Amino acid sequence: MILGLALIPSKSFQEAVDSYRKRYDKQYSRIKPHVTIKAPFEIEDGDLDSVIEQVRARINGIPAVEVHATKASSFKPTNNVIYFKVAKTDDLEELFNRFNGEDFYGEAEHVFVPHFTIAQGLSSQEFEDIFGQVALAGVDHKEIIDELTLLRFDDDEDKWKVIEDKVRIIV
């Protein structure tokens, strides 16, 4: 079973992000807009309850986090991904660090860059055209997220789903 941990924003901000993703993100239908806290990791099916207990223990003492999407940015030249940058706060960093050590399914492969992906899988020309448009449109959205969402990858449907019976773990 493949799991991940993410902060999922309000419906209204999901709709704003999805207005770009529908056009520019080939992964649009696979997952809701989110800030990744723990990249995909694999567990045995029988370990799910234990993982949920570990997640609950690790989020103990972390307050709800403010998410402030501040501008369009990109991972270029590493890859042609465009995203809404989220201001990194101490609380966000602490949340990320609690789930990205050797003692919880391994360290993160990348430095923590909180963001909402809005475009990926682009050619260089597409990237240049789209990035200019998105940067001009801009973004300045703040909200408090008080739930850390545990997601499971559904191989049959080729998409990420909120674990229904354990829905959300309150931060």
Give the DSSP H or E segment for 40: strand 35-42
68 is catalytic: no
* Of the candidates 127, 109, 107, the residue with the CA atom closest to the CA atom of residue 118: 127
Q: What are phi and psi of 81, to 5 degrees?
A: -110, 130
Looking at 34, 68, 110, 141, which residue is catalytic?
Answer: 34
What's at 78, amino acid-wise? Answer: T
3-class DSSP assignment, residue 7: strand
- Taking alpha carbons only, the member of 86, 46, 38, 82 closest to residue 66 is 86
Residue 56 backbone zone (phi > 0: left; psi -120 to 50: alpha; other: beta): alpha
**Residues found in the chain:** 171
* Distance in angstroms (rounded) separating the CA atoms of residues 47 and 103: 15
User: Is 115 an active-site residue?
Assistant: yes
Catalytic residues: 34, 115
